[in-house]
């Protein structure tokens, strides 16, 4: 059984359960030697799928991305991150507001096996410093305001070219 099929079977057990007690008694985690949620589950579903995967509503309007667009854009970000030194297991602090790059970056990080440390854009410089230190963060994805809060950018490995 493929990893995606095993994941689907486990999911289907939960969806078919009439109540929480039944779900708990019948569910078994699938034994997967290798499974990447983006590569094995999201990507096959997303390719060619033009229905909205993401809608971000703001005062300025609504931004929409289809499943296919989201998959394509996350592949591009994953390639950028890999090309700039992000490796499987590296910790990436993601400090963005609710914008499309937040969701694209999370999919990209999952795709390459990086560990995502989500952070609010409201962190102070001291809070950010603490998270970078305690989280053993090697990379940060943020906007210009967030970048201005990083005290020692030299300790992070990926920077724009």
CATH number of the domain residue 90 falls in: 3.40.50.980
Name the pTM for this structure: 0.86
Q: Are 20 and 73 found together in one domain?
A: no
Please give the pLDDT value at position 129. 93
pLDDT on residue 152: 81
Whole-number pLDDT of residue 161? 45
- pLDDT score for 159: 56
pLDDT, residue 158, reads 55
Amino acid 100: pLDDT: 95
81 shares its domain with 138: yes
Q: How many domains is the chain built from? A: 2
| 107 within 8 A of 40, measured Cβ to Cβ | no
Q: Could you tell me if 1 and 74 lie in one domain? A: no
What is the C-alpha separation between 156 and 94, in angstroms, rounded? 13
Q: What is the pLDDT of residue 47?
A: 92
**3-state percent helix, strand, coil for the chain, nearest multiple of 5:** 50, 15, 35
What's the pLDDT at 155? 75
Query: Which residues lie closer than 8 Å to 111 by C-beta, 6 or more apart?
Result: 36, 38, 39, 74, 75, 78
Taking alpha carbons only, the member of 103, 95, 43, 45 closest to residue 77 is 103
**2 and 16 within one domain:** yes
User: Are residues 56 and 128 located together in one domain of the fold?
Assistant: yes
- Which parts of the chain register pLDDT below 50? 161
DSSP summary character for residue 89: T
């Amino acid at each position: 059984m493929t990893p995606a099929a095993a994941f689907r079977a486990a999911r289907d057990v939960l969806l078919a359960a009439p109540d929480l007690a039944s779900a708990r008694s019948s569910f078994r985690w699938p034994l997967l030697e290798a499974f990447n949620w983006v590569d094995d589950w999201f990507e096959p579903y997303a390719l060619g799928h033009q229905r909205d995967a993401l809608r971000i509503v703001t005062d300025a309007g609504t931004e929409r991305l289809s499943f296919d667009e989201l998959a394509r854009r996350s592949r591009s970000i994953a390639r950028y991150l890999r090309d700039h030194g992000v490796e499987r297991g590296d910790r990436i602090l993601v400090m963005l507001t609710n914008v499309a790059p937040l969701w694209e970056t999370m999919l990209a990080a999952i795709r390459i096996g990086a560990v995502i440390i989500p952070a609010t854009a409201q962190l102070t410089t001291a809070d950010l410093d603490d998270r970078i230190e305690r989280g053993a963060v090697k990379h940060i994805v943020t906007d210009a305001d967030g970048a201005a809060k990083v005290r020692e950018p030299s300790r992070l490995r990926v920077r724009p070219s």
